[in-house]
Amino acid sequence: MLSSEFLSASNRLTIDLNALADNWRSMNARSGKARAAAVLKADAYGLGIDEAAPALYAAGARDFFVANAEEGADLRPLVPEARIYILAGMWPGNEPLFFDNDLVPVINSEEQLAVFMSALSERGDHPCVLHIDTGMNRLGLSVEEAVALANDPARPASFSPVLIMSHLACADDPGNPLNDYQLRRFREASAAFEGVDASLANSGGVFLGADYHFDLTRPGIAVYGGEAVNDVANPMKPVVTAEARIIQVRTIASGGHASYGASARFNRDSRIATVAVGYADGYHRSVSGGGVTLRQATPSGAFGFLHGQKVPHVGRVTMDLSLFDVTDLPENAVRAGDYIELFGRHIALDDVARAGGTIGYEMLTSLGHRYERHYVGAV
């Protein structure tokens, strides 16, 4: 049932937890013999971990990845029997969060390995993940360092990773030769850790096929309905629909202009809807319909969806307001108080992101606090 707050909100999100769960099930099935984890970084990609985590747990997910130990501690009571991996690893001072909440650190460097080994000597055995860099050049031990560690006769018996992992740099581009290179390097490293589960594939990696799946896949953006592979139709269900209220509809005569810098100019009599959303709400200035030099790759800005039709954004996105050209809709169809879809069921999240020269990840994780939320299919 829709709350009165949602029905009257200036900005609102409808978050379909059934679609979220279905997307995870789809990625789990696509993972073949591997099991699929779920990535819940950044408050479940901005959707709300308190609602997303139970939905994914009920769908069958038992492996979860978050960015840091604080996120892991918040997640633990929501997924009591799950394994929670902390991508940022362990640092001096936050060891209690790992031991008290049964969190698994990802060891990303020699420095973190030393911190973890020191914690083991004080507290006893605890699982960990070893991150191996195979070509991303962002985090992880080198393949050579990892193999040397695996073969070191002086390696403490208490150090026994439950998983080795690496991260693909170009999984969204199936033809990129770096994918094959990273796969070969990861196989070289994983062979040194016989009997230890291995994980290489992110969302795009799942679509690369069985060779990339190993024992555990880590789908993220695909679970939230975003595109995982470039230039391919997105098979995932949309999870989030963002809407904003129209505050005013005004007529501007041919030859007129609107917005900062007179950036919207009209060569016909036009009707313009002023909408209560702006960059303070994560509707980025770069998706503007004109007057923004940040966007070079696309000739026009984003579109909204209103009364069965796409309508273009015009002028500049400002802090709290945006303008959409509704001239092509029937004259009496658009009224103050109507809601326009920014992305979701009819306007793809990634299409809006592309208009702004960014990606769906950034759009989702930028959603501001002013959106009223309605969850469909909550468990």
| Residue that is written with structure tokens 């605890």 in the block | 126
What is the set of active-site residues? 41, 260
- Listing DSSP states for 334-363 in one string gives --TT-EEEEESSSS-HHHHHHHTTS-HHHH
Contact 89/113 with Cβ under 8 angstroms?
no
In angstroms, the CA 116 to CA 63 distance is 21
Between the alpha carbon of residue 362 and those of residues 215, 343, 353, 358, the distances in Å are: 29, 13, 8, 7
- How many residues would you count in the chain? 379
In angstroms, the CA 280 to CA 370 distance is 9
Between the alpha carbon of residue 211 and those of residues 198, 221, 232, the distances in Å are: 12, 21, 20
Supply 96's token pair: 């209690």
Contact 244/10 with Cβ under 8 angstroms?
yes
DSSP state of 262: G
Q: Which of 204, 182, 193 is nearest to 136 (CA)?
A: 182
| Residue that is written with structure tokens 């919207």 in the block | 264
For helices 177-190 and 143-151, give the axis angle rounded to 10 degrees.
10
Q: Provide CB contacts within 8 A for 277, sequence distance 6+.
A: 10, 11, 244, 283, 320, 321, 322, 342
